[in-house]
Amino acid sequence: MLTNVQCKNASCPPGEKRARFADSGGMYLEVSPTGSKRWFMKFRINGKESRLAIGSYPAVSLVDARMARDQAKAQRREGLDPVATRKAVRAELAMRSGDQGDTFKVVALDWFDRQKSEWSLSHAERSKRQLERDLLPSLGDRPMATIKPMELLAVIQKVEQRGAVETADRVLMLARQIWEYWLPTAERPQRNITEGLKARLLPYRGKSFAAIVDPLRMGALMRAIRGYKGGKIVRTALQLAPLLYQRPGNLRMMEWAELDLDAATWTIPSLKMKRTKAEKEQGESHVVPLPRQAVALLRELHPLTGRGQYVFPGERNHERPISDNSVRSALYALDFGKEQTWHGFRASARTMMVDQLNLDPNAIEANLAHAVKDANGRSYNRTHYLKQRFEQIQTWADYLDKLAVGAEVIQMPHRAA
């Protein structure tokens, strides 16, 4: 007979399709090469061997598996087929729950259809993909009221087992919202079975982007950027990234129609901003002041790409902008890829403009397109800071020039954000 330690340590030898570990009474634990473990029970009916799937380990413990095995053996003594009996019970539960109306799949897809109109297209596509890949295959046909917390946990832990810790955290969040959506319609009082499951998952603290905040290292990076030998389009995007510190997606999709070089402004339409769907449709454009250095770089690039839509068109397809990987690859080519990411220029600017230049954090946040709120909870109107942001971004560009030529670094008194 198996022990809990043996179940926990059971594994499939390399090269094998599966490994089986016998307990007693025809029950065994089957382990796949990926590490998933499931309980089965073998029995014979009408002279033909069959098997009953009991559940996944550790969601179904050794004790629970033995109880399910004993129940199945009792059914056999009464001349019943445990597999057929289980199907009949599930069908009856499904009918009681409203003719399949309360299966996880029906509830999840109904929730998704009601939410997607408020989401961006990319968020909706990702949520639908995670539902279809990680939740529906295991839980889709189950009535909501019959799903146990440890069963859901086992499904999410399979996501962890493939190394996708962040995705597992997102899948749990999806499940939590689906249960919250379903609970008011449940025929009998139910609880949200997702409560407490996060503590059972590997900790996920979010993703931080590598960013240089030391003036000496930033100076070295700026010199390396100026010496970059790649194509002019990527070189210009690489030079503008630290100057403007906008999101990579906005910079690479910059269009000539969005620029007013005489007024030194770049106006990003609301639909391009990182916002909810409603905010994209109803929000204001984000105006980015351009320092003199940025205007000069853009005027120099205009003869090359100015007849097209995008400031930074792709090399193979001029109808599309450069890829996310373009500036990232350039940073790696300069041996700074591990220290500085494209997105990390936002953190570099935010930190150094406060710590080194003692500039107003509120105006910096406005230029980052962050929704800063005052003490009364009202969001600052970003246009109120436009004049101040022009001054700030020029100060920042001039400071980067000084670092690039190796000017003496003077530490300014730190002012808390």
What's the pLDDT score for residue 206? 58
Domain ranges in the chain with CATH number 3.30.160.390: 4-96
Per residue in 109-137, is it b (16+ CB within 10 Å) or e — as a string?
A: bebbeeebeebbeeebeebeebbeebbbe
What's the pLDDT score for residue 95? 53
What's the pLDDT score for residue 396? 95
Of residues 417 and 411, which shows the higher confidence score?
A: 411
Q: What is the per-residue pLDDT across 3-37, written as a single tens digit (0 to 9) for each?
A: 999 999 999 999 888 999 999 999 999 999 888 89
Q: What percent of the chain is predicted at pLDDT more than 70?
A: 86
Strand 265-268, strand 48-57: pairing: unpaired
Q: Sign (positive/negative) of CA torsion 6, 8, 12, 14?
A: negative
Q: In terms of CATH, what superfamily is 215-404?
A: Intergrase catalytic core (1.10.443.10)
Q: What is the DSSP string of 227-286?
A: T--S-HHHHHHHHHHHHH---HHHHHT-BGGGEETTTTEEEE-GGGSSS-HHHHHHSPPE
What's the pLDDT score for residue 22? 94
Cβ–Cβ < 8 Å for 378, 384: no
- The predicted model gives 362-390 an average pLDDT of 67
What's the pLDDT score for residue 219? 94
Second CATH level (architecture) for the domain 104-200? Orthogonal Bundle (1.10)
Q: What is the per-residue pLDDT across 233-272, written as a single tens digit (0 to 9) for each?
A: 999 999 999 999 998 889 998 999 999 999 999 998 877 7
Q: What is the per-residue pLDDT across 44-80, written as a single tens digit (0 to 9) for each?
A: 888 888 888 888 888 788 988 898 888 888 888 888 8
Of residues 130 and 416, which shows the higher confidence score?
A: 130
- The predicted model gives 187-198 an average pLDDT of 83
What's the pLDDT score for residue 339? 92
Q: What is the DSSP string of 19-81?
A: EEEE-STTEEEEE-TTS-EEEEEEEEETTEEEEEEEEEETTS-HHHHHHHHHHHHHHHHTT--
Check pLDDT > 60 for residue 374. no
Q: What is the per-residue pLDDT across 304-363, written as a single tens digit (0 to 9) for each?
A: 999 999 999 998 888 889 988 889 899 999 999 999 998 899 999 999 999 999 998 888
Closest CA to 314 of 252, 221, 393, 394: 252
CA atoms within 13 A on the CB side of 153: 18
Q: What is the DSSP string of 138-173?
A: HHTTSBGGG--HHHHHHHHHHHHHTT-HHHHHHHHH
Q: What is the per-residue pLDDT across 150-188, written as a single tens digit (0 to 9) for each?
A: 999 999 999 888 888 888 999 999 999 999 888 877 767
What's the pLDDT score for residue 91? 58
CB contact set of 341 (below 8 Å; sequence gap of 6+):
209, 210, 211, 328, 331
Lowest mean pLDDT among 98-102, 120-124, 310-314: 98-102
May I ask the CATH class of domain 4-96? alpha beta
Find the angle CA(212)-CA(395)-CA(210) to the nearest 5 degrees.
15
What's the pLDDT score for residue 204? 66
Q: What is the per-residue pLDDT across 275-297, written as a single tens digit (0 to 9) for each?
A: 555 555 556 788 899 999 999 99
